[in-house]
Chains A and B, each alone.
Chain A
Amino acid sequence: MLMEVNDLHVSYGAIRALTGISCTLDKGEIVALIGANGAGKTTTLRTISGLIKPAKGSITFKNMDLTKMPPHKIVAAGISQVPEGRRVFPDMSVMENLEMGAYTRKDKGEIKESLNNVFKRFPRLEERKHQLAGTLSGGEQQMLAMGRALMSKPEVMLLDEPSMGLAPMLVKEIFEIIRDINKTGTTIMLVEQNAHMALSIADRAYVLETGEVVLSGQAKELANNEQVRKAYLGED
């Protein structure tokens, strides 16, 4: 097991956002977290990345307790995140955004290699490398956010709603890229409201409801589960 989240409790002041989330991530997997608005998906990812400290519970990654580490050390340990809403640095160029992604790395040659890989994966970013990130289209910003997260050469990549606000064609493309990133050796935890797409590429999935895991299992099984089909796949 690469990462284990155990009984995570998180509150924002009086609001209890997570009330005991547990999940695991094995090396090489794609694991999806699905659930309605406000279920606690983003909160889970932000807690894994160290931006929020839990009231209770642990997150173990290769024998390290992430809940005791600051966000920058968690990145250095091998976990990067593509945050909800992309969050590119709007007043920095595409190139500078990518450089920030490699902030924890020292070796110039290896960074250059990662940059070439990112440009190979997202040729549009190379064409626009001098453009300010804030002027990119939504789809291009999503590519930049993903490219930026790849620049740290992560072992685990956390993706928070990569399909949000994108045209269906582009959603398909993004999901194909996610699958490809996974094939080249990056373990992925994917948060999605687009449950259909998420379950189609994931190995396993967890269904979150008001801060708890209510269902979990193989993605294929969940896609056929009555309850899931009704609540999240829009079928009746």
Chain B
Amino acid sequence: MFEQQIINGLTLGSVYALIALGYTMVYGIIQLINFAHGEIYMIGAFAGVTMVTMLGQGFFVSITVAMLVCMVLGVVLERVAYRPLRKSTRLAALISAIGASIFLQNAMMLWKGPQPVGFPQVINDAIYHIGPIEVSKVQLIILATSAILMAVLNYIIKYVKIGKAMRAASQDYDTASLMGININRVISFTFAIGSALAAAAGVLVGMYFNSVAPLMGVMAGLKAFCAAVLGGIGSIPGAMLGGIFLGVAETMGIAAGFSTYKDAIAFTLLIIVLLFKPTGLLGKPIQRKV
């Protein structure tokens, strides 16, 4: 039973991790909490549904298109809602982020209505038995897709030129531009990558729960944000760890009979971790930049 919960927790957690990565990468570079990130995830899920229902596509094409759509959306969002406020106070950008979030939710409700929309089955409901554990094919696909995406991200950040530029910019913004790094391009790239990961998460969740809804990004976004803070905001491995940790904790909590409080688990956990480690599990001690 315990092992079963671990698998279920990992499935949920890897989705939280995918979303959390976007929060943490954007925060790492421009110290902005992108409150509209949950809506990018939601729009990714709808893009996936649209590909499946209206265009009859399978899993692979649907998730790829959803990721591409959200890449563009993320880049546009930054251009329109955040870049003009780059030199203003952080509060101004934060308010703009909340505004963008509300705008996107309502735009989707206008288009699809407020009710949940069914996500047709694209993966057969095969179940595999590994010892005492049951794993559905959808779960396997979620785990594998998340693992692949995170490995690709890791590779980009470590070895690809623009990924290294992202790291440089998150460590020292001004000095990065003294290297000849075009910071605007790095920021756009960061939004593109973060949004693509969120879109993938949206499609995976839609597949898992067979439904998507215009407000699905609110709670998922908030929890993934918790995961990012839990892991240490700004830290990429932290977001991965925080997401997984949160998913497992939530699943365990539900199994232990706290299903009524399932959404509170994330926040409780966040408070407890921050009490003991104010900068998160893998966060660095706070340094004031001079």
Contact = CB atoms under 8 A, between A and B. Distances in A.
B280 to A, nearest CB: 16
B167 A70 contact: no
Contacts of A152: 179-180
Contact of B175 (A72, A89, A91): A89
Interface string B200-216: 00000000000000000
B53 interface: no
A148 to B, nearest CB: 7
A99 B167 CA distance: 13
A35 interface: no
A96 B164 contact: yes
Interface residues of A, number: 25
B268 interface: no
Contacts of A100: 164-165, 168, 176, 179, 181
B178 A71 contact: yes
A-side interface mostly: loop
A163 interface: no
Contact of B167 (A51, A91, A103): A91
Contacts of B179: 72, 75, 100-101, 103-104, 148, 152
B172 A72 contact: no
Contact of B171 (A81, A83, A89): A89
B182 interface: yes
A165 interface: no
A89 B172 contact: yes
B181 A87 contact: no
Contacts of B161: 99, 103
Interface in A90-124: 90-92, 96, 99-101, 103-104
Nearest to B290: A85
A100 B175 CA distance: 10
A85 B177 CA distance: 16
Given A49-B178, A71-B178, A76-B180, 15 more contacts: A72-B182, A72-B183, A80-B178, A83-B175, A87-B172, A87-B174, A87-B175, A89-B172, A90-B171, A91-B167, A99-B164, A100-B165, A100-B179, A100-B181, A104-B180
Identify the 3 closest CB pairs spanning chains A and B, nearest first. Answer: A75-B180, A104-B180, A71-B177
Interface of A: 49-51, 70-72, 75-76, 80-81, 83, 85, 87, 89-92, 96, 99-101, 103-104, 148, 152
